[in-house]
Structure formats: C-alpha cells, structure tokens
Copies of this chain bind each other. A is one copy, B any other.
Amino acid sequence: MKYSNQDKNHHSWMVVENQFHANHLKKYEAIMTLGNGYMGIRSSHEEHYLDEMRNTFISGTFNRFSEEEVTELPNMPDLTQIKLILDDEVFSLTTGRVIDYRRELHLWNGEVYRVIKWQSPLGKTYKIEFKRFVSHNNLHLLGQQVKVTPLSEEVAINIVSGIDGQVTNSAVQHFIEGNKRFYYGKIQEMQQKTTESDIEIYAHTVHRFVLNEEIMNLKPFMTMDRRKIAGEYACSIPQGQTLTIEKLSMYHTSRDCDLKGDLHDWALSEIEAVGQWGYDLWFEKSAKAMKTFWDEKDILIEGKEGATFDQLAIRFAQFHLKGMTPAHDNRMNIGAKGLSGEGYKGHTFWDTEIFILPYFIYSEPQVARQLLIYRYHSLNSARQKARDNGYKGAMYPWESAWIEDGEVTPVWGAADIVTGERTKIWSGFIEQHITADVAYAVWQYYQVTGDHPFMEDFGFEILAETANFWCSRLEWNSNLNRYEINDVVGPDEYKEHVNNNAFTNYMAHWNIELVIHLYENEPAFRELLSDKMTIEADYHFWQKRLDLIYRPQPNADQIIPQDDTYLQKKNIDLGPYKNKGKVGLLFKDYNLEQVNQMQVTKQADVMILMYLLEHLFTPELKQVNFDYYEPRTLHDSSLSLSTHCVLACDLKKYNLGYSLFEKAARIDLGDNMSSSDQGLHAASIGGMWQCIVNGFGGVRNINGMLRIEPSLPEQWQRLKFEILWQGNPIIIEIEKETLDFSQKVTLSNKGKNQVIVMTKDHPIPLESNGQVVL
C-alpha cells in the first residue's frame, strides 16, 4: 500500500514561500538552508536585499577574531550572488511589480526552486527561474541554475557573478585576504586564510550559458575589488527564448579531512573536473543520494488536517539534521543552530547529546558514533578544564568548538535593563551538567547499538573520566552528612548560583553509579582503563562517595525541589510572558537578578530529569511534578517543549502532548517571522523526532531493553517509522481502525537477530524477519 504523502508533489515534501516579503527574508533563508554537513548555506536570494543575512559556513573552520571574543564559524566568501541586469534595469523584487512568486524547498531531493514573473519598472516582463542545491554526493559542491525568459521583447542581459569575500560575521572579519585569479578564461578563484586558526580556504566558481540548447562562449569582463572577484557576461535573449545560466562552485579548506596533496592543486583540479559538465548532471548525482536517504529513513504520518503539517515537520527535521551534521569528520560536531546562522557561533552544547543524538542513535548509529568520538577527541581539553578549575577527570565545556579549544562560552551577554551594564554569562563556569549529559549519551548509544568496540576505544574512558570529575566536584556538608553540588546553573538558566540542582545531582549520581557497575561487571572496562588511569583507586573513590550524594527527594506535596531554594521563592503571574509567541519577554520588566528570586523556569529542569532517568520516578510522581512545574515554565528555550511532549505522552495525556508537539514543530516552521533569524533550532528539530518516536511512538531504552508503547494523538490516523535496535531494523506501524479508532500496532523485525520488545510491562520476542501485531 502506498501512502499519498509519498508522492513528491505532496505538501508534506516541500517548504513553500508563496509571496515575496522583503521583511521576512531571514525566516526563509534559515528554514530553506541547504547543507550537507560539510557546508551550510542560508537560502539568501541570488540578488541582494537589505535585510538579508547571507551566510555560508563550513563545519569545523573555527576562528577567533581577538582575545576579547570567542571562536566562531566564519562566514565564507559568498558564491550564491548572481546579479541580473536586464536592459539596464537591475532585477530586484523590491522594484517593479511581482506578478508571480513562488519558492519551494524540495525536501526529497534537496533543491531550492524559485519561479518569478516580474514586471520591471519600465514595464518589461520576464519569467525567471532559479534552482540551487548543495551536493549530497560531493561535499564541496554547490550548484545554481537560472533561466531567464523575456516575455515582452528581446532583452540585452548583463550577468555579474563571481565570488564575494566582502562578508563578515556581524561585521567581524575572520579572513586575511589572499590571492584572486581567473584561470583559462573560465575559473574564478579566491583564496583566504583565517586570521588566528590559520585555515586556508579556496572558493572557486565556473559559469556556463546555454541559449536554445547551444552552449554560448561568453567572454567575461573581469573585475577584482577588495576581497571580490566577478565576471560580467553579456548577451541578448530574443523574446520568448530562454537563457540558462549555470554556476557551479566549490569550497576546499586546509582543514578538510579528505584533503589530497597540495590544497590549491587539489581544489583547482576538482573545479576543473566539475566544470566539464552542467548543473543537471551534478544535481542528479546529489538527488540520487537524497533518494537513497529517504527510501531508508522516511517516517510516515497520516491523519486529519494537521497531520500533513506534522508529516512535513518531521521531514523538515530529518532534512535539516542531515544537512547540519558533519558526519564525515569526527573532529566536528553539530552547532546549536546547525550551519544555518550566526547564532551561538557554531558552538556545540548538550543539545547534541540530549536532544539530537537520540535520532542518530536509533536511525543512523554510525553518525551518532562520529558525534561521540568528537567528545573523545575533546577529552584532553575537558581534562584541562577540570585541572584549571581544581577538579579531577574530564569537565566538558559548556560550549564547545574545535576539539582543542576547550571552553568557548562567551563571558558577556546582553544589557542588564536595571544597571545598564552587560550581564555576565555564568554557563561557561558553572553550568556543569553537560559533563553528565555526555556520559548519558555514551551509555544510551551503547545500550541501543551494542557497539562494544566503541566502548573499548572511546566510551569507557569518557565514562570513567566524567565520573572522576563528579567525584572531585562533590562538596561535603558535615552538618547534613552528605555530598552536595553547590553554586551551579541547572538546565533552568533563569536560576544562577543555585545549590543542589536536582537534575545535576541525580545525573552526577547516575554517572558514578554507572562506572561502579562497569568496574564490577565489565572486565574490558577495568582492563583497558588500568593502562591509562589509576582505575582501582578511582573505583574506591567512586564507591566511598556514591551513597552519600544528596539527591533531592519529594517534599510533603510530592514535589522534587528544583534546587535548595526554588520552592521558597515567590510566584508571579506569568500570563504576560507565557505562550506569547515570543521568548524572553520577562526581561522587558525584570533583570536576571530579579528573575532569580521567582518561581519561574526557563525550560524543562526537574522535567528533563524525570525523562532521562525515568526509571527512578513513579508515574504519579511525574504527574504531580508536571502539574507543578509546567505552569511555572516559560519554554523560553527551544529545548523545553519536546521534553514536555514526551512526558505528556508517558503520562498518557496525548492531546496535551500533541499540543506541545504542535508548538515545538512551529519554532522554526511556524509563523513567527523572526524566531529563525539567527538560524534553525537544532535541538528543537531533534526534539521533533523525539516527540514522534519517543513520545507517540513510545520507544524507549529502559536499562538496555527496548520498550515500545505507542499511542497516536487524535489527529493522526497512522504512523510508521523504523528504528535500529542492536543493528536490527525494526519497523513500527501504528494504525487506527476505521470503526472504533482502536490502534493496531505492527512490529516487524528486518534484522538478523531476535529482539525482545517490552510493551505494557511484558516482554515479546520479535524474531528475525518476524512480525508481531499488538
């Protein structure tokens, strides 16, 4: 049976902009970002507009402009501009009249297509089509095609196109200008070098012009300005005929893991080879790779009205997760905005481990592995951070960039509305739970995949060193005879300098408990680490502390206190600040010091504890705490809604879960026209998958056992997805019966091994190539 939403023309396969808004450029640039993990390019138009934010990033090319700033992903020389001058009128949608406009991001093949009918200020009409793709077949390649058809009369066209290095990160210039060249009357070249990290980059582009299926040999007039090279090409297009302009461009850097020989020779030979062929050939190769991806990974949702959007949302999420993830290079990780904006400077947070990694662990474990090896490569800088702060083991940086950089969180933030001074950002100093989050992800990966070699090569060492950090981090309270963790920021960043944040303390306890278990039960752990560490001594150190670690317990009302003082703080009316479609509204009226004194939470805190360590809490306790904390939570972080959605599903509140999912799915895709200015919300996009698979799909790893307890929301008729469990593909299909709306759940094991599935507390064996209907 074929789903209608598998048809590529279906709305659920494309993101559409059907009107040009000069004020909404940044929104569509971000949500239509094209990427392949190596590079990400915001979909700024070929022609310039005032409010555009024209960004191209290449993973891992971090540079630090000055000692006063933190390192960031530099904005690469722009290759996407193509200026069209039609009978001396510059093509721009802010002039003349836009008769028709439509832009589509085709999720199934990774192409952005734009078609315009435009009347120029002088009244001449043109049909202009634009296509572009970032290749999924060749990481370095970007292709563009423009078709210009003059409708009213013959036109003399001038095309100005080249490489524009006059780009910055919000006015910060990361490159030393290098050489510019024009080779063989054909290839434009720009070379630059990052100012501090000394990464050499090459941008190349070649053009091709076709009129009536004839390749035209247009000789450009070349100009070189500061950090700019461009060719001006001119010809005439008879009325009704179509000129096709093709621009194929490439980036290569000295940081590329596929670098072959001399960078310049390599880059030049690659663009020469690409230049032998046109757009269509290279696009086909990329589209084929995308097809293979979707054939394996597509998740299907069918149902009522809203379901089409939900289907689109999950494809949007998977498309961008693919585009933002540097799966090719395990010295790199995912930025909090992917490769789609300057926000968070390309830095990696716990967003990867807690919100994005579940998708890869269950769908593309080889990618999850790469992302975790990044943390292994970062172990030494994490050890350095621990030493610098007087601790042992590995203290992971709150924000992470290049593997050797260590902590890269900026120190200064926005203005304090009361004092007029910049506020200090404490996360880099005391938001320490990241270290347990990394350990948690390693263990999840291992339990779901069974990848023991990974644990031997990388995982065990990360777990032991994170546990060592926590042990050294504990503070002995001799009055209460317990170990505490004081002066931290928990997931709720509206509370700084708190003691015994429940999430942090439980996660630290879990981390230590795990390594004790491994030491006692996993010979490889003990043996492998005994060469590298004083593992026996460490074990005694863990043992002595574990049971004395304070884990906040439910109070008389069954509420687990978020920290030592939260429950004593005052409550305020959050009406003006919650669910207003904008985040951070509270700071129009209060400064952080004042917010610190209120029972108001930025994002899931006790809630995410109850999600990640779910086996420690009863459903009743979860319900009571959900009811207490959710109304006090502003969801001012995009990390908040998906956690609440999954928890709501766990609590069998599917309609509430669905409404939370609806909001989460609209953080980028919804109608807030500024929420994506600085880039997509990578964690939220990962969270969308969690809502569907961990929430409604009910998939969970419970101590190494696969649990599946699906339940569809009212709006859905059918849900079908695949996960990998210990290497076995398991297809899960949930369908409502037409008559009584009861749900039929079909589990199919396409793998080689039997898999035991827990459902409603019963183990069900699912044989190789077997199927079970629940």
Q: Which of B176, B181, B195 makes the CB contact (< 8 A) with A421? A: B181
One digit per residue, 1 when the CB lies within 8 angstroms of any chain B CB and 0 when it does not, for chain A 479-506 equals 0000000000000000000000000000
Interface residues of A in 1-45 (CB under 8 A from B): 22-23
> How long is the Cα–Cα vector from A180 to B22 in the complex, in angstroms?
31
A742 at the interface (CB under 8 A from B): no
Which residues of the other chain, B, contact A168 by a CB distance below 8 angstroms? 168, 171, 173
Contact check, B177 vs A68: say whether CB atoms are below 8 A apart. Answer: yes
Q: How far is the CB of A21 from chain B (nearest CB, A)?
A: 11
Which residues of chain B come closer than 8 Å to A225, judged between CB atoms?
170, 414
User: Which of A216-224, A554-562, A731-739 lies at the interface?
Assistant: A216-224
Bound form: Cα–Cα A95–B95 in Å: 9
Q: How far is the CA of A48 from the CA of B225 in the complex (A)?
A: 23
Q: Does A229 contact B (CB under 8 A)?
A: yes
A166 interfacial by beta-carbon distance below 8 Å? yes
Q: How far is the CA of A595 from the CA of B90 in the complex (A)?
A: 32
Does the CB pair A222–B177 fall under 8 Å? no
Residue A285, interface by CB 8 Å: no
Which of B172, B181, B223, B227 is close to A173, meaning CB atoms less than 8 Å apart?
B172
Pairwise interchain contact A173-B176, C-beta atoms closer than 8 A: no
Which residues of chain A in 621-648 are interfacial with respect to chain B, using CB atoms and an 8 Å cutoff? none
Q: Which of A579-634 contact B (CB under 8 A)?
A: 588
Shortest CB distance A347–B (Å): 14
Q: Is the CB of B224 within 8 A of A177?
A: no
Q: Is A417 an interface residue (CB 8 A)?
A: yes
Query: Which chain B residues border A346 with CB–CB below 8 Å?
Result: none
Q: Write out the residue numbers on chain B whose beta carbons fall within 8 Å of the beta carbon of A173.
A: 65, 168, 171-173
Flag if A415 contacts B177 (CB, 8 Å). no
Inter-chain contact B414/A223, CB cutoff 8 Å: yes
Interface residue? A536 (CB, 8 A): no
**Which residues 60-96 of A sit at the B interface, judged by CB distance below 8 A?**
65-69, 90, 94-95
A50 at the interface (CB under 8 A from B): yes
List chain B residues, Cβ under 8 A from A415: 180, 182, 222-224, 229
Closest to A222 in B: B415
Q: Is the CB of B170 within 8 A of A420?
A: no
**CA distance in complex: A303, B90 (Å):** 41
Please name all residues of chain B whose beta carbon is closer than 8 Å to the beta carbon of A69 when the two chains form the complex. Answer: 176-177
* Contacting pair B180 A66 (CB below 8 A): no
How distant is the Cα of A95 from the Cα of B21 in the complex, in angstroms? 12
Interface check A553, CB cutoff 8 A = no
**How distant is A75 from chain B, measured CB to nearest CB, in Å?**
10
Q: How far is the CB of A25 from chain B (nearest CB, A)?
A: 12
Taking CB as reference atom, which chain B residue is nearest A220?
A: B417
Measured CA separation A90–B50 after assembly (Å): 13
Please determine whether B50 and A226 come into contact, CB atoms closer than 8 angstroms.
no
The answer to the question of A165 belonging to the interface, with a C-beta cut-off of 8 Å to chain B, is yes
Whether A66 contacts B176 in the complex (CB less than 8 A), given A222-B415, A223-B414, A415-B229, comes out as yes
A48 surroundings in chain B (CB, below 8 A): 50
Residue from the set A23, A165, A414 with the largest chain B CB neighbour count within 10 Å: A414
Q: Does A569 contact B (CB under 8 A)?
A: no
Give every chain B residue within 8 A of A66 (Cβ-Cβ).
176-177, 195
- Chain B nearest CB from A731 CB (Å) reads 47
In the bound complex, residues from chain B placing their C-beta under 8 Å from that of A414 are 223-225
For residues 334 through 383 of chain A, which have their beta carbon under 8 Å from a beta carbon of chain B?
A: none
* Residue A266 CB within 8 A of the other chain: no
- The answer to the question of A167 belonging to the interface, with a C-beta cut-off of 8 Å to chain B, is yes
Total copies of the chain: 2
Please report which residues of chain A, range 251-308, place their CB below 8 angstroms from some CB of chain B when the two chains form the complex. none
Contact mask A202-220 → B, CB, 8 Å, 1/0?
Answer: 0000000000000000000
Most B CB within 10 A of own CB, among A50, A95, A180, A225: A50
B176–A417 touching, CB < 8 Å: no
Q: Which of A642-693 contact B (CB under 8 A)?
A: none
Provide the bound-state CA to CA distance between A519 and B172, in Å. Answer: 55
* CB nearest neighbor in B for A66: B176
What is the interface of chain A mostly: helix, strand, loop, or mixed? loop
Residues of B within 8 A of A181 (CB): 420-422
A49 sits at the interface (CB 8 A): yes
- 0/1 string, A76-118, CB within 8 A of B gives 1: 0000000000000010001100000000000000000000000
A179 close to B (CB within 8 Å): yes
Chain B: CB-nearest residue to A94: B94
Residue among B171, B221, B420 making CB contact with A222, cutoff 8 Å:
B420
A607 to B420, CA, bound (A): 62
Contact with B along A402-446 (1 / 0, CB 8 A): 000000000000110100111000000000000000000000000
> Which chain B residue has the least Cβ–Cβ distance from A182?
B420
Contact B50 A417 (CB under 8 A): no
Report how far A493 CA is from B701 CA in the complex, Å. 76
| Cβ distance A425 to chain B, nearest Cβ, rounded Å | 13
A581 to chain B, nearest CB (A): 15
Would A167 and B177 count as touching, CB distance under 8 A? no
Interface residues of A in 168-207 (CB under 8 A from B): 168, 170-173, 176-183, 185, 195
A50 / chain B contacts, CB cutoff of 8 Å = 48-50
Contact of A227 among B170, B179, B224 (CB under 8 A): B170
With both chains docked as a complex, state the minimum distance between the C-beta of A71 and any C-beta of chain B, in angstroms. Answer: 14
A588 with B221: CB separation less than 8 A: yes
Q: How far is the CA of A342 from the CA of B766 in the complex (A)?
A: 72
Chain B residues with CB under 8 Å of A185's CB are: 420
Given contacts A173-B173, A415-B224, contact A180 B422 (CB under 8 A): yes
Residues of chain B contacted by A180 (CB below 8 angstroms): 415, 422
CB nearest to A588 among chain B residues: B221
Interchain CB contact under 8 A, B166 and A171: yes
Closest residue of B by beta carbon distance from A219: B417
How distant is the Cα of A168 from the Cα of B175 in the complex, in angstroms? Answer: 13
Residues of the B chain whose Cβ atoms lie less than 8 Å from the Cβ of A171 = 165-168, 173, 226-227
Of all chain B residues, the one with the shortest Cβ separation from A231 is: B415
- Chain B residues contacting A165 (CB-CB under 8 Å) are 171
- The 4 lowest CB-CB distance pairs between A and B, nearest first, are A182-B420, A166-B171, A224-B415, A173-B173
Taking Cβ atoms with an 8 Å cutoff, the residues of A that contact B are: 22-23, 48-50, 65-69, 90, 94-95, 165-168, 170-173, 176-183, 185, 195, 221-227, 229, 414-415, 417, 420-422, 588
Known: A168-B171, A171-B173, A223-B415. 16 other contacts (CB 8 A): A22-B95, A50-B50, A66-B176, A67-B176, A68-B178, A168-B173, A170-B225, A170-B226, A171-B226, A172-B226, A179-B422, A181-B420, A182-B415, A185-B420, A224-B415, A224-B422
Return 22 A-B CB contacts under 8 Å, by A number: A23-B90, A50-B50, A67-B176, A68-B177, A68-B178, A69-B177, A165-B171, A168-B171, A170-B226, A170-B227, A172-B173, A172-B226, A173-B173, A181-B420, A182-B415, A182-B421, A185-B420, A221-B417, A222-B417, A223-B414, A224-B414, A224-B415
